Amino acid sequence: MRILIIEDDKSHADYILNGLKEAGHNPDLAANGVDGLHLATEEKYDVIVADRMLPKLDGLAIVQALRTSGNKTPVLILSSLSKVEERIKGLKSGADDYLTKPFSFAELLARIEALVRRNLVEAEQTVLQIGDLEINLITREAVRGGKKIILQNREFRLLEFLMRRPGQVVTRTMLLEGVWDFHFNPATNLIDAQMSKLRQKVDKGFKQPLIHTIRGAGYKVAVE
């Protein structure tokens, strides 16, 4: 999942980012409300986790701006304000959930997954499918032709990134930024090696390959 974290406290931000990465997700960070709102409107995220008290623009103002613009991305507000009336105020602003500090990472992750699950069900996109290949975004399982494919976290994220863009040529730069969160070229064969492993798992044993290399451009997933 792509998750936007808007948090100005570095220790809290690092704690959340590291936990999400270990869980196999792809988080971005904004350290103030203005940058957070910009990312939330310019990029596509599965869920947004925003601290309530932020410099430049607070969390509730971010939610209100998103809802006014028609952006329905689920938002979880983090706050040290724990009174019932504060939680109600947060939810009435348009937030989908409200978690008070301090919190356990396990609870935060469970709430994030619940929000995404609910949003995916509403959007009727819990499964991505191309040909006889399916991946379930909730259970994080992949199946092709009735056969379960065992994927590591990074492999699943890579396949999901490709399958969200069926038939589209995905460049190496897009993969580095979208899957590895690299905003520079590491000058290695990292992507080619990972794609080779993924192709072995997805295409080996099947007559029709689904993962295609586009020379000089990148990769795509398609039925051809």
Domains annotated for the chain, with CATH where assigned, are: 2-123 (3.40.50.2300), 127-221 (1.10.10.10)
In terms of residues, how long is the chain?
Answer: 224
DSSP 8-state code for residue 22: H
Pairing of strands 47-51, 2-6: parallel
Model pLDDT, residue 150: 95
Pairing of strands 47-51, 75-79: parallel
Buried b (16+ CB within 10 A) or exposed e, 34-51: ebbbebbeeeebbbbbbb
Model pLDDT, residue 63: 94
Cα of 182 vs its chain's centroid, Å = 15
Model pLDDT, residue 62: 95
Concatenated DSSP letters of 106-162: HHHHHHHHHHHHHHHHHHT-SEEEETTEEEETTTTEEEETTEEE---HHHHHHHHHH
Digits of tens for pLDDT over the chain (224 positions)? 899 999 999 999 999 999 999 988 999 999 999 999 999 998 989 999 999 999 999 999 999 999 988 888 999 999 988 888 888 988 888 999 999 988 999 999 999 988 887 776 555 567 899 999 999 988 889 999 999 999 999 999 999 999 999 999 999 889 998 898 887 777 778 899 999 999 999 999 999 999 999 998 999 999 98
Model pLDDT, residue 125: 63
Q: Which long-range contacts (CB under 8 A, 24 or more apart) does 145-148 make?
A: 145/206
Half-sphere exposure of 78 (CA within 13 A, CB side): 24
The answer to whether the peptide bond before residue 27 is cis (omega within 30 degrees of 0) is: no
DSSP 8-state code for residue 84: H
Model pLDDT, residue 123: 53
Please state, in angstroms and rounded to a whole number, the distance separating the CA atoms of residues 222 and 206. 14
Sign of CA dihedral 193, 209, 201, 21: positive
